A and B are shown apart, each in its own frame.
Chain A
Amino acid sequence: MPQFFLNKRLIILLVSIIILVALIGFSIRERDELSWAEKFVKDTTGFAQSLVATPTQYVIGIFENMKDLQNTYEENKELKKHLEDMARLEAKVYSLEKENAELAEILEIEGSIGDYDPMQATVISRSPDRLWHEMIIVNKGSSHGVEKNMAVMTARGLIGKVKSTTPFTSTIQLLSALDPTNRISAALQGDKKLFGTIEGYDKENEWLLLKGLPVDAEIEPDQMVVTSGLGGVFPGDVPVGKVVEVVPDQFGLNQTAYIKPEADFYNIEHVMILTRGMAIPEQIENDEENEGEDL
């Protein structure tokens, strides 16, 4: 028995396994904020990463511009066609927006859940540990006003949410992460709005899963899916993707829709972090808590 305890290597191994379990337990629980040590390390590496990333992206930009030049003629023809439509559309949008504002004023509605302020950010790094951790790191942090759980999109659609922030960087978890706790409240646009939650990712087809849709709902392919704005932090009406296929779920109580995401999860350079325009009614939450205490 004493020999067992004298075995130095075994002791080191045992102690490190205990530390390992403790550290993993510490870091995978739901945390509101990172510890100061993590923030310091992430900010320092973030600074070094942006030092390297900025010139590299500049050089790559030059090459991409050259590649774009090759099909300028074709694109130009196509764009001219769109331009005529654009002018008409722009006039229509302007008059609709004005009308909407006037009507809202009459009804005394302040803001809608669809309102948001976009904040530009540039990707400085991506986690190499892909498949397990689909994360990107961007150059805007809590000192710029980024908060945990904010929605993140590219020009084409939603890509994920803010997982954690440090003063100068923030980490974004993409929708393509296999993490089962990655859930987003979404709605199907149609005559009648249908709500469900986006949870899970089909790696093979690169589809998102929209679960919890009512079993009797008629859902057609190509219907648009947007965020619902009911989760509290996300703004509403951010495009997510289009329905590809609908299947009944395991027990036949709900339907699951497969969604082809609008955004590309691979080549992300610039992202927009969305700050919800309409404030979350904290007052009501507090009232409810007080009532609970009274009871």
Chain B
Amino acid sequence: MKRYLIPLLLIFLFIFEGLFTQLFPADLFNGDYIFVPRFLIISIFFLAIYGSVKHGIIYGFLFGLVFDMVYTEVIGIYLFLFPLATYLFITIMKVIQTNIVLVSFVSLLSIAFLEGSVYFMNLLIHITDLDFTSFSEIRLVPTLILNLIFIIIAAYPFKRQFEKFAEELRND
């Protein structure tokens, strides 16, 4: 049972993101801002740093593919960017110390990188023609605020869960 805990958690977060968007009162602040839940990638970051890097990148790849198929219907963007963001996150974490506050901060930074790259890719394939200032005002900043709140709530439970997972991996 314990072995399936992490895939189950990730699948739950994946479905929860869709449900959250559906149920979130979008007309909050007149509907001027868009809050994008990025809970799945946050848990993948924490898995990569406290669990194992290999698992983190593989899950990033898998869930990126499923995310593309189900939520965007443009295959490739998240498939490429989920593992890349995780890799970037790990590379930064190698340089600085793994303290929970710093991990939270760097994962927020990686989400900003992810959002920015998704914007530029969509600009490139003409899905949008929004300018960067409006993008950052409408979507980037609100998204970072929402995910900061999520990180504050979930950072500690995630850390404990993934550390347990890493220990099991070592024992095997």
Contact = CB atoms under 8 A, between A and B. Distances in A.
A28 B74 contact: yes
B15 A52 contact: yes
A41 interface: yes
Interface stretch (B20-28, B103-111, B155-163): B20-28
15 contacts: A23-B75, A23-B76, A38-B75, A41-B69, A42-B69, A49-B15, A49-B19, A52-B16, A125-B22, A125-B70, A127-B18, A130-B34, A130-B36, A131-B139, A132-B72
B52 interface: no
Chain A to chain B: the 9 pairs with minimum beta-carbon distance, closest first: A125-B18, A23-B76, A266-B26, A126-B22, A24-B76, A127-B71, A27-B75, A126-B21, A128-B17
Contact of B22 (A17, A131, A136, A179): A136
A206 interface: yes
Nearest to A21: B76
Contacts of A223: none
Nearest to B32: A204
A184 interface: no
A7 to B, nearest CB: 15
A148 interface: no
A56 B37 contact: no
**Interface class of chain B by DSSP:** helix
B76 A129 contact: no
A34 B18 CA distance: 20
Interface in A90-144: 123, 125-133, 135-137
Given A125-B21, A131-B34, 6 more contacts: A20-B79, A27-B74, A127-B72, A129-B71, A130-B34, A131-B130
A164 B19 contact: no
Interface in A166-198: 171, 178-180
Contacts of B77: 20, 24
A179 to B, nearest CB: 6
Interface in B41-97: 66, 68-77, 79-80
B128 interface: yes
B11 to A, nearest CB: 7
Nearest to A173: B73
A156 interface: no
Given A24-B74, A266-B26, A266-B31, A49 B69 contact: no
Given A23-B76, A41-B69, A48-B15, A128 B128 contact: no
Contact of B73 (A17, A20, A128, A171): A171
B129 interface: yes
Interface residues of B, number: 44
Contacts, number: 124
A123 B73 contact: no
Interface string A12-31: 00001101110110111000
B19 A20 contact: no
B112 to A, nearest CB: 16
Interface residues of A, number: 45
A60 interface: yes
A154 to B, nearest CB: 14
B21 to A, nearest CB: 4
Interface string A205-246: 010000000000000000000000000000000000000000
A20 B129 CA distance: 21
Contacts of A28: 74, 125, 127
B138 interface: yes
Nearest to B66: A41
A49 B68 CA distance: 16
Contacts of B129: 178, 180
B149 to A, nearest CB: 16
A125 to B, nearest CB: 4
Most chain A beta-carbon neighbours within 10 Å: one of B69, B70, B79, B127: B70
Nearest to B17: A128
Contact of B72 (A56, A129, A267): A129
A286 B133 CA distance: 50
Interface in A252-295: 266-267
B126 interface: yes
